[in-house]
Copies of this chain bind each other. A is one copy, B any other.
Amino acid sequence: MNFIEKLNHAWRASDSLLCVGLDPDVTRFPQPLHNLDRKQAILEFNKAIIDATHDLVCAYKPQIAYFAAESAEAQLAQTIAYINAHYPHIPVILDSKRGDIGSTAAMYAAEAFERYGADALTVNPYLGTDSVTPFTAHAERGVVLLCRTSNPGAADFQDLDVGGMPLYQKVAQTVARHWNTHGNCMLVVGATWPEQMAAIRKIAGDIPFLVPGVGAQGGDVEALVKAGQRPDGLGLVINSSRAVLYASQRDDFAAAARQVALETRALINRYRARP
């Protein structure tokens, strides 16, 4: 089963478009983990969050920077291996925003797909076609291209007009027309920009969107679901990290994370098309 098939299956099995982002920030961990070694705490925290939310999500998205800052590559590998062993139907998107010349991109593909066993990774499109093909050539894996990101600075370059359309739409068009030949691409479209999301949906057809920015970043769920979903009520992988992960600082942190995930799934589902 390739990445997109796995995602399609996970959307339906969980009745959820919610993705939980695994951004383990040791300084925000709940009290019960404070007496563990930092690296051990990262792994135990992730496992508790995964066990508490696995039936409510269509994907997990570990953010590699949080592991790298703590020298916790082994715990990243163990976290993904834990998902693959216990919940093998849930796709894992490694959020690494890689982007480099071809020979280097091949090394990053080995990192994400072989070393970590991720189903997909995020990639920055700035370097163009030959920086992306070493990833998309893995036809059974997913490649999630940054298009319109969720942060305030997204407009600085992504909104610049490049001959009748903003750059982010040109990226979407390039992915749809040229880079998605194996049908394994997705686009990052921030939850904070529903108007732009609607425009990208028109360009991108059925290509799924990874949507960061719900929760701590303040994205409007109703607006984004209406703007981004496909006619089949699918097509979105809506990420929430901090609002789920740090829902409680106490013993009940996993239960509290589950409760936020439940509520977020329900909120998303309220606006989904049900054909």
Asked if A68 lies at the interface with its beta carbon under 8 angstroms from chain B, I say yes
Contact pattern, A 68-102, Cβ under 8 Å of B = 1, otherwise 0: 11010100000000000000000000000111111
The answer on a CB contact under 8 Å between B158 and A126 is: yes
The answer on a CB contact under 8 Å between A127 and B100 is: no
Cβ-defined partner of A69 (8 Å) among B110, B124, B150: B110
* Chain B residues, CB < 8 A from A217: 101
CB proximity of A171 to chain B, nearest CB, Å? 7
* Chain B residues, CB < 8 A from A105: 65
Bound: A155/B149 CA distance, A: 22
Cβ-defined partner of A128 (8 Å) among B102, B110, B115, B153: B153
| Interface-located stretch among A160-168, A224-232, A252-260 | A160-168
State whether A99 and B115 are in contact (beta carbons under 8 Å apart), knowing that A71-B73, A167-B160 are contacts in the complex: no
The answer on a CB contact under 8 Å between A157 and B153 is: no
Asked if A48 lies at the interface with its beta carbon under 8 angstroms from chain B, I say no
The answer on a CB contact under 8 Å between A161 and B158 is: no
Asked if A131 lies at the interface with its beta carbon under 8 angstroms from chain B, I say yes
CB proximity of A151 to chain B, nearest CB, Å? 4
Bound: A125/B132 CA distance, A: 17
Asked if A195 lies at the interface with its beta carbon under 8 angstroms from chain B, I say no
The answer on a CB contact under 8 Å between B162 and A167 is: yes
